[in-house]
Amino acid sequence: MSAHVSGGAGSGAVPGGFPTVRPRRLRTTPAMRRMVTEQRLHPSDLILPVFVRDGISEPVPVSSMPGVVQHTRETLKKAAHEAVRAGVGGIMIFGVPKESDKDAVGSAGTDPEGILQVALRDVRAEVGDDIVIMSDLCLDETTDHGHCGVLDAQGRVDNDATLERYAEMARVQAEAGSHVLGPSGMMDGQIGHVRRVLDESGHQDVSLFAYTVKYASAFYGPFREAVGSSLKGDRNTYQVNPANAREALRELSLDVAEGADMVMVKPGLPYLDILRDFAERAEVPVGVYQISGEYAMVEAAAQHGWIDRDRAIMETLTSFKRAGANLILTYWATEVAGRL
């Protein structure tokens, strides 16, 4: 029951003490609530992250992400068609090479016949421009040490040597048909370097969706299973400290100045304040990645009957819209788009 409001000018109360201003009037029926809804999700807001694995004949379930699989080339094409039919805005493809193809410099990431490049050609041939085809531009899936860059003699990630690898990756991904590249390694200068290389090689129309702030989060665990990560150690020297907000704004200024077409906050729910900061400052579209750990928590709690799965999914996605996101990467993209 609402508390009584005392009388007086501007109080919204009559002399008897009961309110004249009643916000509940706008909550009385489903139709009323729909009419005054402030934020609405649309299928084109959603981007589906997918994994395609080399050398498998059947999809492989990701045990920590119920409902998510490592696709074969054929099932990936089917997933792309399903996303198109549902009206999903984009599909972000991650390649999972064979263990035997991993090496210190991530050669599979620049091999035109590497699994990601082959999958990009498959999907582009299958659905063309009916959906925005995006590709992960990072080395962590293809290196035997699991880091997002190449290592120097002391075992540290070499920023500038890594930029050269990213440049080569950008060229082969663009040539394979990606509309949008997603540089996600958090190397200094990665957006500017990749932009120059794309422009010089005739790929001026390929967009860059910058992973502008990628926090050193505890919520990446299921993703590392999904990509078969070989990570040794941690990524604290290049991903952002979860305690830092000003640092995220510095990264935003740099990425936009270097030519980012879109910017991203990752993860999502623990960083809604950062997402709001980006939305208020950025002059380009702002995205958010609802990552594997966020997905896994909802699915696990729902399997135990602890939460209403469908309502929880919609509530989390709506929170991103409310915070200002234009684009949302979520493993529920096709499901939710179909529901919308």
Strands 69-71 vs 60-61: parallel, antiparallel or unpaired: antiparallel
**CA-to-CA distance for 164 and 187, rounded, in angstroms?**
11
Question: Is residue 110 packed enough to be buried (19+ CB in 10 Å), middle (13-18) or exposed (0-12)?
Answer: buried
For residues 289 and 49, what is the distance between their CA atoms, to the nearest angstrom? 9
The C-alpha atoms of residue 16 and residue 9 are separated, in whole angstroms, by: 14
Residue tagged active-site, from 78, 98, 214, 321 = 214
Query: Active-site residue 214, yes or no?
Result: yes
Please, is 340 exposed, middle or buried when counting C-beta atoms within 10 Å of its C-beta (0-12, 13-18, 19+)?
A: middle
Q: Annotated catalytic, 266?
A: yes
Pair of tokens at residue 247: 């640092």
Which one of the listed residues 78, 98, 266, 321 is annotated catalytic? 266
Contact between 179 and 206 (Cβ < 8 Å)? yes
Spatial distance between the Cα atoms of 261 and 279, rounded to a whole number of angstroms: 14
- Cα angle 136, 219, 269 (rounded to 5 degrees) comes to 90
Residues labelled catalytic: 214, 266
